[in-house]
Amino acid sequence: MAEKVIKRPDSMYSEFARKGGAAPTATHYCPGCGHGIIHKLIAEAMDELDIQDRSVMISPVGCAVFAYYYFDCGNLQVAHGRAPAVGTGMSRARDDAVVMAYQGDGDLASIGLNETIQTANRGEKVAVFFVNNTVYGMTGGQMAPTTMIGEKTVTCPEGRTAEQAGYPLHMAELLNELKAPVFIERVSVSDIGHIRKAKKAISKALKVQKESKGYAFVEILAACPTNLRQSSEESIRFINNQVEKEFPLKNFRDISDCTVPLFRGASDFSKKSLDNIFNLEKDSSLDSVDTPNFGDIGIKIAGFGGQGVLSMGLMVARAACDEQYHVSWYPSYGPEQRGGTSNCSVVISGEAIGSPIVYEPDILVAFNQPSLEKFASDVKKDGVIIYDSTVGNCDHIIPEGIKSISVPATKIAMDAGSKKGANTAMLGIMLATGRTKLPPEAFNKALDETFINKPKLIPLNKKVLNAAVKWAEKNIK
């Protein structure tokens, strides 16, 4: 039999330089506390599994806030309860890292309960070591979510009652309801026999990480003689006789043998891949250029939701973009959308655009009467109002001296074979008026781009556009 030398594991610093002080080999933990034992078990397991270099230990808020004093591996210290979320970020960024979150009962089961459950539920590649000593430690002995009925703490001085504070949370059982976790076990470090079993569970949880298999959870019942006002012996008896009854020790789950490793793959940072995502080679315009003499054209398009108001605006914007003008499109959102009306502003300009919201349109396109009523009086004196003739006679709404065109947009579209093409018909009328100063090719190209994913609609919409232009040539004087 080989001689066994009991020594400090390599994964634990031999001197705790980060702690400082007069006793560089003593921990900051109280006598009889379970943390020191648990730290050593984790470090031993790290040695045995040869994962020290890959390991990242996440220290919580609580007594183990200084876990980074002790573990000779990459260390993070994080906000109260957030260790599993931080672990998620670390694990996603570093697929190879062995990520450990070390948390107490307040941290894990109270303020961080959401992160705890969700991280387990996503099956993150994180080993969570949950030290349950039924009481808050660092903050001074307050009731924990795991404090037992009748147990006295600073904030339940007469003992916890169910009426006042509900029942202790059973985290291992709770997490065992989830599908994703690979390994869940509850152990204790009350005495030698228990410590041996705890070591096995901790090793297993880390082996799951070493093999990239997913989430592992080890709940460790430990003593807090200081805050529970117990001697070391009393604290051991307390765990063995009372805590274990409330929180039975057992393996809840181990599906590591039938779990396949999860590798998330490397990130691709090449420009070519990104250009492909956005289809830059085929679908891009030339950059906008300044054409100072062009001036500004403000367009307001308004109607009921579903009438293609916003998409018509985008089509105009596309046409302007293709012609290398500066252009902006802005949809109203928020209160104005209530009641089913919507509108958008399009500004076409030869220079950098100021307000993207059009207050005084050069062109108003109104698909319904409320829109006409709302915006007609804003139209510039030399502007034009184009409205759908199904609105009826609106002469009383059109301000005096403003040119208006009543267009049977729906009929033009229907006659050309499109049920939904009233907005394209309006686009054709707008083109025909010449007020946008954009050429017909730009509008046709805009249709190509708009329906790039529904190519059948391209010829149909072009037909509507042309029909509208013809209607305009015939009917607009």
342-361 residues in contact with another protein (CB under 8 A) are 352-357, 359
Q: Does 421 bind another protein (CB under 8 A)?
A: no
Site for another protein in 449-468 (CB under 8 A): none
Which residue stretch of 68-76, 144-152, 423-431, 467-475 sits at the interface with another protein (rule: CB under 8 A)? 68-76
CB of 166 to another protein, least distance (A): 22
Please identify, among the stretches 65-73, 227-235, 236-244, 388-396, the one whose residues bind another protein according to the rule CB under 8 A.
65-73
Q: Is residue 118 near another protein by the rule CB under 8 A?
A: yes
Cα 372 to Cα 385: distance, rounded to the nearest angstrom: 9
CA distance 172 to 193: 21
Q: How near is the Cβ of 44 to another protein at its closest, in Å?
A: 17
Q: In the set 65, 187, 407, 469, which binds another protein (CB under 8 A)?
A: 65
Among candidate residues 336, 149, 137, the one with its CA nearest the CA of residue 225? 137
Query: Between 95 and 246, whose beta carbon lies closer to another protein?
Result: 95
* Spatial contact of 363 and 430, defined as CB atoms under 8 Å apart: yes
When asked if residue 278 is in the footprint of another protein (CB under 8 A), the reply is yes
Closer by beta carbon to another protein, 8 or else 94: 94
Are the C-beta atoms of 29 and 35 separated by less than 8 Å? Answer: yes
Binding to another protein (CB under 8 A) within 124-153 occurs at none
**Whole-number Å distance between alpha carbons of 183 and 210:** 13
Q: Which residues pair with 385 in a beta bridge?
A: 364, 404
Binding flag, residue 321, another protein (CB under 8 A)? yes
Residues written for the chain: 477
Element (H or E) spanning 314, and its range? helix 309-322
**Span from 77-85, 392-400, 403-411, 433-441 in contact with another protein (CB under 8 A):** 77-85
Q: Which of 14, 23, 26, 96 binds another protein (CB under 8 A)?
A: 96
Least gap, CB of 206 to another protein (angstroms): 13
Q: How many residues bind another protein (CB under 8 A)?
A: 77
User: In this complex, which beta carbon is closest to another protein, that of residue 233 or of residue 290?
Assistant: 290
Rounded CA separation 348/298 (Å): 7
Q: Closer to another protein by CB, 85 or 416: give it.
A: 85
Could you tell me if 29 and 63 are in contact, meaning their C-beta atoms sit under 8 angstroms apart? yes
Q: Is 267 in the site for another protein (CB under 8 A)?
A: yes
Cβ neighbours, 10 Å, residue 193: 10
As a whole number of angstroms, the distance between CA 52 and CA 72 comes to: 7
Residue 303 CB, shortest distance to another protein, in Å, is: 18
Rounded to 10 degrees, what is the CA torsion of 74, 77, 80, 81?
-10
Q: Contact at 8 Å (CB) between 410 and 417?
A: no
CB nearer another protein, residue 113 or residue 149 = 113
Q: Which two tokens stand for residue 281?
A: 């080679």
- Alpha helices for 123-231 (secondary structure H): 162-165, 171-175, 192-210
Binds another protein (CB under 8 A): choice among 152, 180, 330, 463: 330
Q: How far is the CB of 276 from another protein (least distance, A)?
A: 9
Q: Candidates 34, 52, 405, 412: give the one binding another protein (CB under 8 A).
A: 52
Separation in Å, CA 270 to CA 266, 275, 283, 333 = 12, 9, 19, 36
Which H, E and C letters describe 83-125, residue by residue? HHHHHHHHHHHCCCCEEEEEEEHHHHHHHCHHHHHHHHHHCCC
* CB closer to another protein, 50 vs 441: 50
Nearer to another protein, 75 or 240 (CB): 75
Helices (H), 399-439: 409-415, 422-433
- What is the distance between the alpha carbons of residues 35 and 28, in angstroms, rounded to a whole number? 10
Question: Which tokens is 246 given?
Answer: 């409330």
Residues 72, 185, 219, 254: which binds another protein (CB under 8 A)? 72
- Considering the rule CB under 8 A, would residue 97 count as an interface residue with another protein? yes
Residue among 26 and 357 whose Cβ is closer to another protein: 357
85 contributes a contact to another protein by CB under 8 A: yes
Q: Which of 157, 270, 392, 419 is close enough to bind another protein by CB under 8 A? A: 270
Query: Minimum distance from CB of 452 to another protein (Å)?
Result: 12
**In terms of CB distance, is 220 or 321 closer to another protein?**
321
Q: Which amino acid is at 338?
A: R
Residue carrying structure tokens 């076409």: 348
In the range 243-262, which residues lie near another protein by CB under 8 A? none
Exactly one of 87, 137, 225, 350 binds another protein (CB under 8 A); which one? 87
- What is the footprint of another protein within residues 14-43 (CB under 8 A)? 18
Under rule CB under 8 A, residue 82 binds another protein: yes
Binding positions for another protein, 98-117, rule CB under 8 A: 98-99, 114-115
**Torsion (CA) 78, 82, 85, 91 in degrees, nearest 10:** 30
